[in-house]
Amino acid sequence: MRSISRSVSCFIKAVAGLVISMSIAMPIYATETVDPELMASLKWREIGPWRGGRVTAVTGVPGNDRLYYMGATGGGVWKTVNAGITWENISDEHFNVGTIGAIGVAESDINVIYVGTGEAPIRGVTTSHGDGMYKSTDAGATWTHIGLEHAGQISRVIVHPKKPDLVYVAVQGQIWGPSERGVYRSEDGGESWTQVLEVDDETGATDMSMDPTNPRIIYAAMWEHGRKPWYVKSGGTAGGIFKSTDAGDSWNKLAGGLPEVIGKIGIDVSASQPNRIYAIVEAEPEKGGLYRSDDFGESWKLLNSDRILWTRAWYYIHIKADPVDENTVYVLNAPFLKSIDGGKTFERLRTPHGDHHDHWINPENSDNMINGNDGGATVTFDGGKSWSSIVNQPTAQFYRVITDNLTPYRIYGGQQDNSTVAIASETYDRGIGREDFFPVGGGESAHIAFDENNPRLIYATTINGTLTEYDHQNKRVRPIKPYPEYVFGQQSKDLKYRTNWNAPVTTSPHDPSIIYYGTQILLRSNDRGVTWTEISPDLTKNEIDKQGLNGGPLTAENVGAEFYGTIFYIVESPHEPGTIWVGSDDGLLHVTRDHGDTWKNVTPENLRGAMINAIEVSPHDAGTAYVAVAGYKMNDFDPYIYKVTDYGEDWDRIDGDLPDDNFVRVVREDPARAGLLYAGTERSMYVSFDDGDNWQSLDLNLPPVPITDLKIRQGDLIAATQGRGFWVLDDLPIIRQVNDSQARKSLHLFSPGEVEMIRGDRSAGTNEGSNPSRGVTLTYYIADDEEGPLSIDIIDLSGNVLKTYSSEESDFDRCITSFQDERTKFEVKHPTMNPGVNQWTWDMRHGGLNCIEDLILYAGFDGATVMPGDYQILISVGDSQSTASVTLLPDPRTDATSSDYEFLSARLVEVTDLLNELVDDLAAARKSRGEIVTLLADFPNVEGLQLAGESAIDRLTIWENTVTQTQYGTYEDEDSMPPMLDVHIRHVLDVLDEAGAPVAAGSLLRLEDMKDQWAERKAELIDIAESDIATVNDWAETNGVPHSTPPVN
């Protein structure tokens, strides 16, 4: 197996150097991987949306009706301790995969949890295979991988009710080929496993149920099944219901009344009457439906053959018996169905989302349940009349991603079993919430296209090749499919156009009014889809034997998801109009250089029908393309990346040292540096600094989740995931700077490039995506042998040091933290100087205001924001120094001129100086008063001195109480005590600073008033100094004793 080395050397082998110009493609320097420590401080940012994705495993815990677990398909394991109000992921740091098939909690020790990976509903798209079993013994705080690595999909986990180490696992097996399948048992908590039920390598265990009154009795539903890209096999004579009465040591296949040719089965024992077993069965017409046995499985009776109970069995077909009432039973299909007469009739129950996959009923209160469906996990306490929210789970599965070029840009994609989404990449207030995304036509499996600079007209596809135009100005959605045939139930050979479930659409980067749309033929429109022109022949293999019925032998699956021999990816060269690359789902790659008049097959050898999943035309060379090839539907999970050069004349595989069993879905080349590649795979993110010769992890804090697509925009790398929504890596300017020269440096500061001056609170709330940090993120590398202290200086173009950060505590730090209460705390942080890479954020402000002890200013002591422009950053550690430049760009929402900023800067300096002068004079006045108090104490009976001294003390105290509020004891006192001059001046500073340029007239008037008021207070202080304090000092000088320092000169 190929693997990526994860060792960390004491120093980098190839690390970052300063980028001279980010707009010029950089040559390749590195020829080997970079020390992972170099990028360890970089972080992916979770965008959301917080709108639940597909969940196929749920469970509660008897005795605690607030505690539940769910397993998302790609999103990992989640836990709620408040009945679904909030969810917390508990698997990210421990699992290798995010696809979850089953969860079992030990009733005898609820801290023991078993999780089987690999979701069981075997979709042809958005389904991932697992890597076996995981176990926690501390309620999900930590996990251990416990084997069954090759199980593929795990459908059910049952833990013995009294023995937490005795566990049974239903292994459904791999989707795309024969594999190990059946029921596995462990009697030592997963230390070892025994296959206790095996039929053959095409028949797996799709469900199990245990008799709760006699756990030696177990029922297993065995399913003969498999998939090809064009066909779903479900059913045969090998499957059926098997029963064990000796804890799994032996099994008998049950027959009496069950169909001989049988497909997928859901099974459950009635806990209140365990002789009753319910089964939902896929079979031939008139034989499929709900079966019931009232004699422990000896005989079965078909009670209800309504197809709504068992249609599309491969995706649904689960059944749950009420643990209290033997006549109440639930069937999970597209609708959620309930029977109260033992399965004879059913009614639909409304849930927050359709397509139901798993269900748990509280044995102590059967009105309390949790349901898992394509929209997430949801809890009820009233028997399904009301449910908890599903818009609090960031587990969306997205097929593709595209972005516009607005500021801030929006991220677009189609969410599985939901709408398309256009979501903000960042917001100007707090987090990215529900109000920050909207649908744009199309549907779940969308490709989306538009003019990236003016995304008013948005083109999006969805299932069956449906194509729409969405006008964002008037919110109208208009179908524009070139030939709108009804697809459901049809065979693709009978249709004019074959379209993929994930049908591609794109617009020309040279003329966005030109739309390209893929069937088996490429079509073009230049009039918003009113008319279409075929510009290619059939660009697929056109294998007729793969264009018939898409399912069997029991159910003809013809919804379009298995349509094969279709165009899967389209991209027009950004360099040359009319040069178009097209990839198909049956493994062909074509290119035209004359707008479609002629086409050339440039398919690399030995693709064996693997899917052309993504094509990236190099931004640096018109004849080069990077092609991600996914062979998983051919049961090949290895990674394949091809670099195609000279318009397809030559090609090379460049997937080098990517690990096996981790196929590649997408590869992108950085537009600012040639040969810097990013690859999204089934389980991880990777980066190559040398054009694919070497690859290394770029997961960072990204959870283990399939990466379905990537986009680079405005210095960010955007990832679409299959189970965790959208994520953004904001640090591409840092990654672009990696080169060998850093290896010779003991200290290096990376160039931050350009930063927009976004104001306001950008912290995310509950169930919201994260914004970028406000300010300039400084990334710096420190060698192991460097010793501190560390300092960071912010310097303007005139050489003035505007602000200094230090790794050590300063007098200013001690001052501002000296008067805190429980509600108001000024947290002081310091730049780190750990060996390796560190990050620190400059808040784009000047240094702090003057601070003195016992000055209570709840608005804080932050300095004013600097103006847009160029600044130097100097970092020093010991004798080593490194510098970098940063350009601060104006807030893109403003249209202020340079003169506006100059005027604002002058006013901010003015009000800052005003407040600093007040603080300095207050400190001097306090000092003078203290010296007089000491003098009077030393000479208590001197009549003239006592009179003048007491007058000075009284007047200084009265003066102090006019410039600052000395009675504040807590933040709440601001509501009941009048603010003094320092607070008023600070408020003017804050208003000027927050409003920015241009300066409002009202702020100028208030500033002038503050200046006048300070002038009055200043005059009063001068008068005190020149009268009472002068009298005291005259006496002190006459008598040769220390005098009081005047508060003003």
Q: What is the mean pLDDT of residues 320-336?
A: 98
What are the residues whose beta carbons fall under 8 Å from the beta carbon of 829, sequence distance 6 or more?
none
Confidence of residue 13 (pLDDT cuts 50, 70, 90): very low
Q: What is the mean pLDDT of residues 119-144?
A: 96
Residue 113 structure tokens: 């949890």
Max CA separation in the chain (angstroms):
122
Distances (CA, A) of 237 to 253, 913, 1005: 11, 89, 89
Contact 778, 842 (CB under 8 A): yes
More confident call, 51 vs 33:
51
pLDDT given for residue 20 in this prediction = 30
Please state, for a pLDDT cut of 90, what percent of the chain lies above it: 86
d(CA 786, CA 877): 7
Q: What is the mean pLDDT of residues 774-799?
A: 92
pLDDT given for residue 783 in this prediction = 86
Q: How many Cβ atoms sit within 10 Å of the Cβ of residue 785?
A: 10
- Does residue 760 have a pLDDT over 50? yes
Which pLDDT tens digit goes with each residue over 508-518? 999 999 999 99
Distances (CA, A) of 972 to 37, 822, 976, 977: 46, 11, 8, 9
Contact 734, 742 (CB under 8 A): no
- Does residue 889 have a pLDDT over 80? yes
Which pLDDT tens digit goes with each residue over 671-713? 999 999 999 999 999 999 999 999 999 999 999 999 999 999 9
Q: How many Cβ atoms sit within 10 Å of the Cβ of residue 1020?
A: 16
What is the value of pTM for the model shown? Answer: 0.93
pLDDT given for residue 1015 in this prediction = 98
Which pLDDT tens digit goes with each residue over 342-394? 999 999 999 999 999 999 999 999 999 999 999 999 999 999 999 999 999 99
Which pLDDT tens digit goes with each residue over 653-677? 999 899 999 999 999 999 999 999 9
- Does residue 826 have a pLDDT over 80? no
Cα angle 545, 546, 547 (rounded to 5 degrees) comes to: 95
pLDDT given for residue 213 in this prediction = 96
Q: Which residues pair with 877 in a beta bridge?
A: 790, 880
Distances (CA, A) of 385 to 137, 347, 348, 812, 1038: 35, 13, 11, 59, 93
Which pLDDT tens digit goes with each residue over 799-822? 999 999 999 988 888 888 876 666
Q: What is the mean pLDDT of residues 87-109?
A: 98
Q: Specify the 3-state DSSP secondary structure of 849.
A: coil
d(CA 265, CA 242): 11
Reduce the secondary structure of 730-769 to three states and give it as a string: CCHHHHCCEEHHHHHCCEEECCCEEEECCCCCCCCCCCCE
Q: What phi-psi label fits residue 94: left (phi over 0), alpha (psi between -120 and 50 degrees) or beta?
A: alpha
**Peptide bond preceding 285: is omega within 30 degrees of 0, i.e. cis?**
no
Q: How many Cβ atoms sit within 10 Å of the Cβ of residue 594?
A: 11
- Does residue 769 have a pLDDT over 80? yes
Confidence of residue 972 (pLDDT cuts 50, 70, 90): confident
Q: How many Cβ atoms sit within 10 Å of the Cβ of residue 200?
A: 14
Confidence of residue 236 (pLDDT cuts 50, 70, 90): very high
pLDDT given for residue 564 in this prediction = 98
d(CA 604, CA 598): 19
pLDDT given for residue 14 in this prediction = 32
Inter-helix orientation angle 1001-1024/943-963, to 10°: 170
- Does residue 561 have a pLDDT over 60? yes
- The enclosing H or E element of 414 equals strand 410-414
Q: Is the dihedral of CA 766, 760, 699, 629 positive or negative?
A: positive
Q: How many Cβ atoms sit within 10 Å of the Cβ of residue 1038?
A: 8
Classify each residue of 351-390 as buried b or exposed e, where b means 16 or more C-beta atoms within 10 Å of its C-beta.
bbbebbbbbbbbbeebebbbbbbbbbbbbbbebbeebbbb
Q: What is the mean pLDDT of residues 48-74?
A: 98
Confidence of residue 2 (pLDDT cuts 50, 70, 90): very low
Please state, for a pLDDT cut of 70, what percent of the chain lies above it: 95
Q: Is the dihedral of CA 307, 312, 314, 315 positive or negative?
A: negative
Q: What is the mean pLDDT of residues 528-555?
A: 97
d(CA 725, CA 483): 32
Q: Supply the DSSP string of 855-914, one letter for each residue.
A: ---TT--PPPBPPSEEEEEEEEETTEEEEEEEEEEPPTT----HHHHHHHHHHHHHHHHH
Which pLDDT tens digit goes with each residue over 241-283? 999 999 999 999 999 999 999 999 999 999 999 999 999 999 9
What are the residues whose beta carbons fall under 8 Å from the beta carbon of 136, sequence distance 6 or more?
90, 111, 112, 113, 115, 142, 143, 144
Closest to 159 in 3D by CA, of 289, 263, 34, 62: 62
- Does residue 295 have a pLDDT over 80? yes
Confidence of residue 186 (pLDDT cuts 50, 70, 90): very high
Distances (CA, A) of 854 to 33, 818, 918, 969: 54, 8, 14, 11
Rg (C-alpha) for the chain, rounded Å, is: 35
Q: What is the DSSP letter of 1027?
A: I
- Does residue 40 have a pLDDT over 90? no
Which pLDDT tens digit goes with each residue over 438-475? 999 999 999 999 999 999 999 999 999 999 999 999 99
- Does residue 1 have a pLDDT over 70? no
